[in-house]
Amino acid sequence: MVNIKENLYSLNKNIDELKNSIRPAIVAVSKQQNFEKIIEAFKAGQTIFAENYLQEALDKQKLLKEYPIEWHFIGPIQSNKCKLIAENFHWVQTVDRIKIAKRLNDNCINKKINICIQINISEEESKSGIMLDEVDSFVSELNQFKQLRLRGIMAIPSHISQEDKLIRELTLLKKIFDNLKIKNKNMDTLSVGMSEDYLLALNYGSTMIRVGSHIFGARK
Ligand SMILES: *Cc1c(COP(=O)(O)O)cnc(C)c1O
């Protein structure tokens, strides 16, 4: 049986042992995990959760209304879903089109939403995210959207089995992040690192890790 409390404890312990100067945010990725597991994690001190699929997320949020959870959206975004995403999430980490940014912005009524730009760090055409040479112009265009608080960048780099490639990508992400921070004072988030590579990602400057199976066990 999966022991969520123990998994969270070991995750936090591993992070402490790195002795990095900044403590990363831990986002618990609860996609394809039931809401009881979210409650279990919440009771063990975890307050930030992320979902990839809107309907699944809304179903769980309804059951978890009483819990003061910070919800992150980390899945692909269709434009007809922007209204519900803007209304029901505190963060959207997968913004990679201006049209989506505009719709999220226009649907934020009396609230601001935190966003990350998703970057296609491996530059494979099949993957989501903007290309590296588009980053600066994308950031300038986002400035017009007053309801969006641009917090940083997010990426899903290459698998740990290609460690050299992964390290090159993590290094490059950190460089992009540091460059962006010079001009964008609100930026504080480099969201990279999942169950298999979070320790490596943290050694390369990640400030936010998104961890699913290490906390909840294998997905259904
Ligand atoms: C599923 C998912 C994760 C978590 O993956 P694990 O390997 O289970 O930790 C993190 N980020 C994104 C974008 C995901 O889709």
> What are the tens digits of pLDDT across the range 169-214?
999 999 999 999 999 988 999 999 999 999 999 999 999 999 999 9
Domain ranges in the chain?
4-216
Residue by residue, DSSP assigns 112-150 as -EEEEEEB-TT--TTS-SB-GGGHHHHHHHHTT-TTEEE
- Determine whether the shortest distance from the Cβ of 154 to ligand 1 is under 6 A: no
pLDDT of res. 185: 85
Helix (H, G, I), strand (E, B) or coil at 93: strand
pLDDT of res. 43: 98
pLDDT of res. 186: 87
For residues 148-168, one letter each, b for 16 or more C-beta atoms within 10 angstroms of the residue's C-beta and e for the rest, the string is bebbbbbbbbbeeeeeeebbe
pLDDT of res. 197: 98
pLDDT of res. 87: 97
- Contact between residue 148 and residue 117 where contact means Cβ atoms under 8 Å apart: no
- Determine whether the shortest distance from the Cβ of 50 to ligand 1 is under 6 A: no
Q: Which of 27, 194, 202 has most ligand 1 atoms within 8 Å of CB, for mutation?
A: 194
pLDDT at 146 over 90: yes
CATH fold, domain 4-216, is TIM Barrel (3.20.20)
pLDDT at 51 over 90: yes
Distance CA 60, CA 39 (A): 11
- Contact between residue 171 and residue 203 where contact means Cβ atoms under 8 Å apart: no
pLDDT at 1 over 90: no
- Determine whether the shortest distance from the Cβ of 215 to ligand 1 is under 6 A: no
pLDDT of res. 30: 98
State pLDDT tens for residues 78-136: 999 999 999 999 999 999 999 999 999 999 999 999 999 999 999 898 899 999 999 99
Match 């290459």 to its residue by tokens.
158
